[in-house]
Structure 1
Amino acid sequence: MTGFLDTPGGAGGGPDPGVESFWQAVTGWGLSARRGGGAFATLLPGDGDACLRVQVVGDSPARAHLDLHVDDVAAAAAEVAALGATLVAAEDGLVVSRSPAGIVFCLVRWGGERRRPAPVRWPGGQSSVVDQLCLDLPGAVHDREAGFWAAVTGWERRSSDLPEFSWLERPAGLGLRLLLQRTGGEVAGVHVDLACDDVDAEVERHVGWGAVVVRRVPGDWTTLRDPAGREYCVTGRSPLPA
């Protein structure tokens, strides 16, 4: 599974260098050569397989989506359709679908990724790593959508000590896990989470690179906005592999 940071184009419709530099700085990961006519690039961890990419999109707002990497794209597309997904677009090696709650996701060929990125230790002493995609699910669609993603992935759903959260147990070595959050909003979406062992120090580092704090839940997580206005979270979960 890969997370995508979808950002409206900068001057001339190309990538926004400030936003991409921000994500390189806060992850500590490099940026690959661009592809797809310049629309796509991959954030490259120093140790482990890539699980986060950037994409230039033609519309606002800045947002995130996920790709599922599969052995057989056509067969997987038929399976997710049977589970309630709606086809958006298809081409060789790529199918774009929409979940029952409206979350856009892609099916692409698996490239053999199997090594979780290692956390980066920062000068402040804390370590962090991007390791989670959170599906923000309005209460009216939460139960059906949670069942959909559990069926699509085949991953077991686990309960949290906070009633609004559950997660899907990722296989060993997978860079990202899926968190399911019951929200009070009306539109389903996706955001990126980082795990770290010192939330306050990590948030201070992100703010130094241009993030803005939206809300703090002391001892658990802080929600921020990146320079493009996209929300993401820094959480107090351990950045080390479980």
Structure 2
Amino acid sequence: MTETRSYRDQHLKTACSSCSVLELCLPLGLTGAEIERLDTLIIQRLKVKKGSALYRAGDPLRSLYAVRLGSFKTSVLSIDGREQVTGFQIPGEMLGLDAISTEQHTCDAVALEDSEVCPIHFAHLEKLARELPSLQHNLNKILSREIVRDHDMMMMLGNMNSDERLAAFLLNMSQRLNSRGYSSRNFVLKMRREEIGSYLGLRLETVCRGIAHLRDQGLVEITGRDVNIQDMDGLKQLIVGCHRHLS
């Protein structure tokens, strides 16, 4: 389902300068005049219903998308047709970067809840970035952040056991939500446990056992999708122990 077909009747005007996630998104560090120029590229924002695709693998690159409200998952299909979750995106983060090299999306981006994005036409963004070095710098930082995330994921899958992977995932979500003004200890997971398992390379039953292990250690209490981190330092120590073991 492509951008044009899916959201033709859901166009709403927006402005970067008044956005609640301004400090986390592409305009970070831009002057007022520069933000106004970027504003001209975001003609409308798009509402995406829970379970709907913002774009699908194979769709042509038209825009990058800044998540304004809600959350998304990105995923690809494995050779045997199973879904492999590759990431979860929350407000202030960008979608669509996967298509820059080939001008074609390599994954699906699906809303985990009713969400809203700001589409930024990529060709126009490239042109403006050539005129505004600060904007080009921000775009480079976003691309670099994606590379670092990929490296972190490779380390997690290659060197951590199941409990450590789950702890790292919860700490990552805690830190990302906290930087957006939410509680670092109490939050709601928008993704299903099967999706967490796919992302972490774990079976559903292993995720459930890991949650029980963390609970038994007094680190985390998870009821349904409600998370309560009871011992933040203990959870971090679990990951530090993994790094010590690797070194």
Q: Given the two structures, how large is their TM-score scaled by the length of structure 1?
A: 0.27
Q: Max radius of gyration: which structure?
A: 2
Report the TM-score when normalising by structure 2.
0.27
- Bigger proportion of residues as helix: 2
